[in-house]
Amino acid sequence: MERVPILKIGDILLVSIQVDMSDQTAVQLQEDLAERIVATGCHGVIIDITALDIVDSFVGRMLSTIASISKVLDAETVVVGMRPAVAITLVELGLSLNGIRTALNVERGMELIAASRTDDWDEAPGDEDAETTATP
Amino acid sequence: MTAGVDLGVPATQAIRSDEDVVRVRQLVRTTAVAVRLSLVDQTKLVTAASELARNTLIYGGGGSAEVSTVSDGRRRGVRIVFADQGPGIPDLDLALTDGYTTGGGLGLGLSGARRLVDDFDIRTAVGEGTTITVTKWSR
């Protein structure tokens, strides 16, 4: 069975899926990621699916599950690089990627994760600076 | 009965494992490219094939996929026949309903796959098995 590598870049785990995954490989990735999030304390996960020419219901469910697991482990998941044809097919298949944040590419995905961490700080109770800077 | 004439020799892929589902996808993709389906149609057909191959494995207990190129005189297309000798589907209407599942999945396999292809034909008998024929035509 093939295994999808997980790279650590700063505070982010990057998974670039380059193979046509068997269902077993997808489940393995789910488990590997959960372990890496805990081991590294990373707060962001980027899953790059640029190379995937299809996302079926199994892989779609895996992406949703990874997003839920990482949320519980205090990490944000962003799926990036979905091809237009894959997006069209997903919608027609009836799959709504529940709870999944998406971005067009890795760079925007990293921005999204950075922004959501900053928001978390701003929303912290007793943080008055955030309120003053919010008014234009 | 679905229309169309077979062109060439169909290729058959056994579906006995996870890895075979991947092989079915690859075979369907190659065939879809050969008959020049558009990129979106290729994607839809390969996705449908992936769902149906997984069903054949999980619910049918394994079986086969036969992939062939067909023509109706005007257009070319790809036809796939998924066959298993599994338990069959007792309530077909229910099985074709979005969100219905007995296998712990999302229940989109059968209903979703039907939306992604042009022709969809299912024959099933309890205790004998299920045969699903799908076709996607070039535009």
Considering only A9-18, A104-113, A117-126, which range has the smallest mean pLDDT? A117-126
Kind of pairing, strands B129-137 and B119-125?
antiparallel
Residue A58 forms contact with B (CB below 8 Å): yes
Q: A130 pLDDT exceeds 90? A: no
pLDDT of res. B25: 97
Residues of chain A positioned with their CB less than 8 A from the CB of B19: 22
d(CA A41, CA A49): 23
Residues of chain B positioned with their CB less than 8 A from the CB of A83: 43
pLDDT of res. A94: 87
What are the extents of the domains in chain A?
6-124
Digit-coded pLDDT (tens) for A41-97: 999 999 999 999 999 999 999 999 999 999 999 999 999 999 999 999 999 998 888
pLDDT means per 10 residues, chain B with 139 residues, are 64 96 96 96 97 94 96 94 94 83 70 94 95 96
Q: Which residue is closest to B105 within chain A, CA to CA?
A: A58
Q: Which two tokens stand for residue B52?
A: 């149906």
Q: A126 pLDDT exceeds 60? A: no
pLDDT of res. A123: 61
pLDDT of res. A37: 97
Q: Which CATH architecture has domain A6-124?
A: 2-Layer Sandwich (3.30)
The answer to whether A128 touches A104, Cβ cutoff 8 Å, is: no
Residues of chain A positioned with their CB less than 8 A from the CB of B112: 57, 92-95
| Long-range contacts formed by B113-121: CB under 8 A, 24+ apart | B113/A93, B113/B47, B113/B48, B113/B49, B113/B51, B113/B52, B114/B48, B115/A92, B115/A93, B115/A94, B116/A89, B116/A92, B116/A93, B116/B44, B116/B45, B116/B47, B116/B48, B117/B44, B117/B45, B117/B48, B118/B77, B119/B2, B121/B1, B121/B2
Residues of chain B positioned with their CB less than 8 A from the CB of A64: none
pLDDT of res. A95: 85
Residue A90, min C-alpha distance to chain B (Å): 9
pLDDT of res. A112: 94
Q: A136 pLDDT exceeds 50? A: no
pLDDT of res. A64: 93
Regarding an ipTM greater than 0.85, the answer is: yes
pLDDT of res. A16: 96
d(CA A63, CA A117): 21
Q: Kindly write down the DSSP assignment for every residue of A69-123, as one continuous string.
A: HHHHTT-EEEEE---HHHHHHHHHHT---TT-EEESSHHHHHHHHHHHHHHHHHT
CATH number of the domain located at residue range(s) B5-137 in this protein: 3.30.565.10
Q: Cα B91 vs. chain centroid, distance in angstroms?
A: 19
Look at B108 and A86 and tell me if their CB atoms are within 8 Å: no
Residue B16, min C-alpha distance to chain A (Å): 13
Residue type, A13: L
Residue B29, min C-alpha distance to chain A (Å): 10
Digit-coded pLDDT (tens) for A5-32: 999 999 999 999 999 999 999 999 999 9
Residue B2 forms contact with A (CB below 8 Å): no
Residue B132, min C-alpha distance to chain A (Å): 17
The answer to whether B63 touches B86, Cβ cutoff 8 Å, is: yes
Helix (H) or strand (E) holding A63: helix A57-72
Half-sphere exposure of A23 (CA within 13 A, CB side): 16
